[in-house]
A and B are shown apart, each in its own frame.
Chain A
Amino acid sequence: MDALNDNGSVLSVRNLSTVFETGNAATCAVRDVSFDLRPDERLGIVGESGSGKSAMALSILGLIEPPGRVSGGEILLGGRDISKLSDRQMGAVRGKEIALVLQDPSTALDPVKTIGRQIIEVLAAHEPDLKRKAARKRAVELLEDVDISHAERRLDDYPHQYSGGMRQRVAIAMAIALNPKVLIADEPTTALDVTTQAQILSLMDRLVEDHNTAVIFITHNLGVVSEFCDSVAVMYTGRFVETSGVEHIFSAPTHPYSEALLNCVPNPEKLAQGPLPAITGFPPDLSQLPSGCSFAPRCPVGKDLAQCYEKAPVTHRISCPDGEVGVECHFAEARARGAST
Chain B
Amino acid sequence: MIGDEGITPALPDGPSPREAGRAGRIAKAIRSDRQLLIPVAVLVLILLFAFLVPTFWPESPSKQDLISALQPPSGSHPMGTDQLGRDVLARVSEGARISLVVALLVTLGGAVVGGVIGLFAGTLGGAPDGIAMRVMDAILAFPPLILAMAVTVGLGVGLSTAALGIALVSVPWYARLLRSEALRIRSLPFVEAAHAMGATKSRIIARHVVPHCMPVLAIQMAAAFGYAILALAGLSFIGLGAQVPTPEWGAMITEGQQFTLTGQWWIAIFPGFFLLITVTATSMVADCIRDILDPRGSYARI
A104–B193 alpha-carbon span in the complex (Å): 11
Closest chain A CB from B296 CB (angstroms) = 15
Q: Mark A165-184, 1 if CB is under 8 A from B, else 0.
A: 11001010011001000000
Question: Once A and B bind, how many residue pairs between them come within 8 Å at the CB atom?
Answer: 92
Q: Which one of A121-129, A209-217, A333-341 contacts B? A: A121-129
A95 at the interface (CB under 8 A from B): yes
Q: Which one of A106-114, A249-257, A259-267, A322-330 contacts B? A: A106-114
Residue ID in chain A nearest B191 by CB atoms: A110
Hey, which chain A residues are within 8 Å of B196, CB to CB? 61, 63, 94-95, 99-100, 102
A91 at the interface (CB under 8 A from B): yes
Closest chain A CB from B272 CB (angstroms) = 43
Closest chain A CB from B10 CB (angstroms) = 10
Closest chain A CB from B126 CB (angstroms) = 8
B3 at the interface (CB under 8 A from A): yes
A121–B196 alpha-carbon span in the complex (Å): 13
Q: Which residues of chain A in 161-201 are interfacial with respect to chain B, using CB atoms and an 8 Å cutoff?
A: 161, 163, 165-166, 169, 171, 174-175, 178, 199
Hey, which chain B residues are within 8 Å of A169, CB to CB? 4
User: B11, A150: Cβ atoms under 8 Å?
Assistant: yes
Residue ID in chain B nearest A97 by CB atoms: B198
Closest chain A CB from B189 CB (angstroms) = 4
Given contacts A104-B189, A110-B208, A113-B211, contact A163 B197 (CB under 8 A): no
User: B194, A63: Cβ atoms under 8 Å?
Assistant: no
User: A150, B194: Cβ atoms under 8 Å?
Assistant: no
Q: From B189, B192, B198, give the contact of A91 (CB < 8 A).
A: B198
B34 at the interface (CB under 8 A from A): no
B141 at the interface (CB under 8 A from A): no
Residue ID in chain B nearest A114 by CB atoms: B18
Hey, which chain A residues are within 8 Å of B200, CB to CB? 87-88, 91, 125
Closest chain A CB from B59 CB (angstroms) = 50
Given contacts A100-B196, A108-B189, A112-B212, contact A166 B4 (CB under 8 A): yes
Hey, which chain B residues are within 8 Å of A279, CB to CB? none
User: A158, B18: Cβ atoms under 8 Å?
Assistant: yes
B238 at the interface (CB under 8 A from A): no
User: A165, B193: Cβ atoms under 8 Å?
Assistant: no
Q: Which residues of chain B in 190-215 are interfacial with respect to chain A, using CB atoms and an 8 Å cutoff?
A: 190, 192-201, 203, 207-208, 211-212
Q: Which residues of chain A in 113-169 are interfacial with respect to chain B, using CB atoms and an 8 Å cutoff?
A: 113, 121-122, 125-126, 147-150, 153-154, 156, 158, 161, 163, 165-166, 169
Given contacts A63-B192, A163-B4, contact A126 B198 (CB under 8 A): yes
Hey, which chain A residues are within 8 Å of B2, CB to CB? 199
Closest chain B CB from A218 CB (angstroms) = 13
Q: Which residues of chain B in 161-208 are interfacial with respect to chain A, using CB atoms and an 8 Å cutoff?
A: 188-190, 192-201, 203, 207-208
Closest chain B CB from A159 CB (angstroms) = 9
Closest chain A CB from B200 CB (angstroms) = 5
User: A100, B211: Cβ atoms under 8 Å?
Assistant: no
Residue ID in chain B nearest A171 by CB atoms: B193
Q: From B5, B190, B195, B212, give the contact of A109 (CB < 8 A).
A: B190
A147–B11 alpha-carbon span in the complex (Å): 17
B23 at the interface (CB under 8 A from A): no
Interface centre among B5, B125, B189, B211 (most CB of A within 10 A): B189
Closest chain A CB from B115 CB (angstroms) = 18
Q: From A91, A102, A163, give the contact of B199 (CB < 8 A).
A: A91
A37 at the interface (CB under 8 A from B): no
User: A112, B211: Cβ atoms under 8 Å?
Assistant: yes
User: A99, B197: Cβ atoms under 8 Å?
Assistant: yes
Q: From A63, A93, A174, give the contact of B195 (CB < 8 A).
A: A63
A203–B3 alpha-carbon span in the complex (Å): 10
Hey, which chain B residues are within 8 Å of A121, CB to CB? 194, 199, 203, 207
B1 at the interface (CB under 8 A from A): yes
14 A-B pairs with CB atoms under 8 Å apart are: A61-B196, A63-B195, A63-B196, A91-B198, A93-B198, A95-B197, A107-B189, A122-B198, A126-B198, A149-B8, A154-B8, A163-B7, A178-B198, A199-B1
In the complex, given contacts A92-B198, A94-B196, what are 19 additional A-B residue pairs having Cβ atoms less than 8 angstroms apart? A66-B125, A93-B198, A95-B196, A99-B196, A100-B193, A100-B197, A102-B192, A107-B188, A109-B190, A110-B208, A113-B211, A121-B199, A122-B197, A125-B198, A125-B200, A147-B3, A149-B4, A149-B8, A150-B11
Residues of B in contact with A (beta carbons under 8 Å apart): 1-5, 7-9, 11, 16, 18, 125, 188-190, 192-201, 203, 207-208, 211-212
